[in-house]
C-alpha cells in the first residue's frame, strides 16, 4: 500500500476506513538492481517490465530509474497492458540487447508470472522478481518482503479491528523480514553461474 495511490493519507495516519500492511519499500527496487549487478558484474543494460494500466506503478518506475542511475545502469522501460503484449515486449528487449530483466509486480503481473518467467528463460535473460511466487514459477531470483510474515501480522490487525479499533487509527506497517531466493535450476538453464558471494547472501536456494 503506497500513499501515492491515495488509498491512505499517510502510513502513520491512514485515516478513513483503510489500514493494513504494505509489501512496498522504495529501497527494494534499488536493492534488486544491486543484486543483479553483483550477479552480473559487467551488467550495463537492464529492462524493467511493468503494467502501465496500474497508476501505482508510475512512482515505482521512477524509483527504479533513480536507482539505475545511481548504479550506473541504463534502464529500458517496457510497459505492457495485457498478456497479448508479452511476446512483443520480450522481442523489444531482445532487439535492444538488454542483459537482464527486473519486474515490477502487481496483481496483473502476478497472474501472468508463468508466462513471464517462461519467456525470460526462453530468452536466456537473467531476471529478478519482487516475490517468491515468481521463483516458484521458474524465475531465477527474487528479493522482497517475506509474505508469510506479512500474513501472520495481518491477523493481529484483524484481531484489533474485531475488538473495536478503528482502521484509520492503525498505522500501515512496513515489512520487517525480507528474503532473497535463488533458483539454481533456472540459472543453470540459461547458462549462468551465480557468484559464490551472491549465493552466500541467499535466504533460500532452489536446487
Residue-wise pLDDT for 48-58, tens only, equals 999 999 998 99
Contact 171, 20 (CB under 8 A): no
- Quick count: other Cβ atoms within 10 Å of Cβ 119? 20
Q: What is the pLDDT of residue 171?
A: 67
pLDDT tens by residue, 63-87 = 999 999 999 999 999 999 999 999 9
Pairing of strands 74-80, 178-183: unpaired
pTM: 0.80
| Residues 116 and 125: beta-carbon distance below 8 Å | no
User: What is the three-class DSSP state of 128?
Assistant: strand
Average pLDDT over residues 127-141: 96
Beta pairing partners, 48: 77, 102
pLDDT tens-place string over residues 140-167? 999 987 666 666 666 666 766 777 767 6
The residues, any chain, with a CB within 8 Å of residue 196's CB and separated by 6 or more, are: none
pLDDT at 3: 41
The predicted model gives 111-138 an average pLDDT of: 96
Q: How far is CA 75 from the centre of its chain?
A: 16
**Segments making up each domain of the chain, as ranges:** 3-148+174-206
**Residue 4 — pLDDT band, cuts 50, 70, 90?**
very low
pLDDT-above-90 percentage for the chain = 66
Residue 16 backbone class (left: φ over 0; alpha: ψ -120 to 50; beta: rest): left
Is a pLDDT exceeding 50 seen at residue 203? yes
> What whole-number distance in Å separates Cα of residue 180 and Cα of residue 205?
9
**Helix ranges restricted to H, the chain:** 26-39, 57-70, 86-96, 107-111, 113-122, 132-136, 147-162, 184-189, 196-199
Query: CA-CA distance, 101 to 90, in Å (whole number)?
Result: 10
Determine the topology of domain 3-148+174-206 in CATH. Rossmann fold (3.40.50)
Reported confidence tier of residue 15, pLDDT bands at 50, 70, 90: low
Please list the helix, strand and coil fractions of the chain in percent, rounded to the nearest 5, in that order. Answer: 45, 20, 35
Amino acid at each position: 500500500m503506497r500513499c501515492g495511490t491515495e488509498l491512505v493519507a499517510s502510513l502513520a495516519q491512514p485515516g478513513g476506513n483503510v489500514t493494513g500492511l504494505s509489501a512496498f519499500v522504495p529501497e527494494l527496487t534499488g536493492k534488486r538492481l544491486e543484486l543483479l549487478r553483483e550477479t552480473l558484474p559487467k551488467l550495463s543494460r537492464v529492462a524493467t517490465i511493468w503494467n502501465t494500466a496500474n497508476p501505482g506503478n508510475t512512482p515505482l518506475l521512477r524509483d527504479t530509474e533513480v536507482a539505475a542511475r545511481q548504479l550506473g545502469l541504463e534502464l529500458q522501460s517496457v510497459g505492457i497492458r495485457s498478456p497479448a503484449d508479452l511476446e512483443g515486449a520480450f522481442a523489444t528487449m531482445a532487439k535492444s540487447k538488454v542483459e537482464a530483466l527486473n519486474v515490477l509486480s502487481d496483481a496483473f503481473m502476478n497472474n501472468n508470472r508463468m508466462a513471464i518467467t517462461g519467456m525470460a528463460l526462453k530468452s536466456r535473460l537473467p531476471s529478478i522478481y519482487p516475490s517468491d511466487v515468481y521463483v516458484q514459477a521458474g524465475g531465477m531470483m527474487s528479493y522482497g518482503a517475506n509474505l508469510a510474515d506479512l500474513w501472520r501480522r495481518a491477523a493481529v490487525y484483524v484481531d484489533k479491528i474485531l475488538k473495536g479499533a478503528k482502521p484509520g487509527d492503525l498505522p500501515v506497517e512496513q515489512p520487517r523480514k525480507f528474503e532473497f531466493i535463488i533458483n539454481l535450476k533456472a540459472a543453470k538453464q540459461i547458462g549462468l553461474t551465480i557468484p559464490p558471494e551472491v549465493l552466500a547472501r541467499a535466504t533460500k536456494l532452489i536446487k
